[in-house]
C-alpha cells in the first residue's frame, strides 16, 4: 500500500470519527459566489470553510484552516445553489 493511499485512508476515517465543535444551519453561513464557498466564523478568529462542490458530494463537515475545530453543516441538498462550473473554465 502506498504512503499517499495510507494517509488518505487515515484522513478519511478520522474525518468520519472526529469530534464536532458545533452544528450550524446552512442559512447561518455566508456564501461567496466567486469562490463557491460557504464560511462561518471560528472562535480562533479565522473562518470554517466548505465548498459548494463538497456539499453537493454529500460532505457536511466544514474545517477551520487555522485550528483543529470542525463544524457539521445542516442542510438539504435542494436548498443549495447550482454549481457554476463555467467560473472554473474561464
Can you give the pLDDT at residue 6?
A: 44
> Using CA atoms, how far apart are residues 66 and 48, in angstroms rounded to an integer?
9
Helix (H) or strand (E) holding 70: strand 70-74
Predicted confidence (pLDDT) per residue in 39-68, tens digit: 999 999 999 999 999 999 999 999 999 999
Confidence of residue 8 (pLDDT cuts 50, 70, 90): very low
Grid look-up 484522513 returns 11
pTM over 0.75: no
Q: Say yes or no to pLDDT of 83 above 80.
A: no
Predicted confidence (pLDDT) per residue in 27-42, tens digit: 999 999 999 999 999 9
Amino acid at each position: 500500500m502506498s504512503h499517499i493511499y495510507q494517509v488518505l485512508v487515515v484522513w478519511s476515517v478520522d474525518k468520519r470519527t472526529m469530534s464536532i465543535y458545533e452544528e450550524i444551519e446552512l442559512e447561518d453561513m455566508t456564501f461567496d459566489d466567486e469562490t463557491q464557498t460557504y464560511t462561518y466564523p471560528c472562535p480562533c478568529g479565522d473562518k470554517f470553510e466548505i465548498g459548494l462542490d463538497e456539499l453537493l458530494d454529500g460532505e457536511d463537515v466544514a474545517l477551520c484552516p487555522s485550528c483543529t475545530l470542525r463544524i457539521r453543516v445542516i442542510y438539504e441538498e435542494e436548498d443549495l445553489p447550482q454549481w457554476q462550473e463555467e467560473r472554473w473554465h474561464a
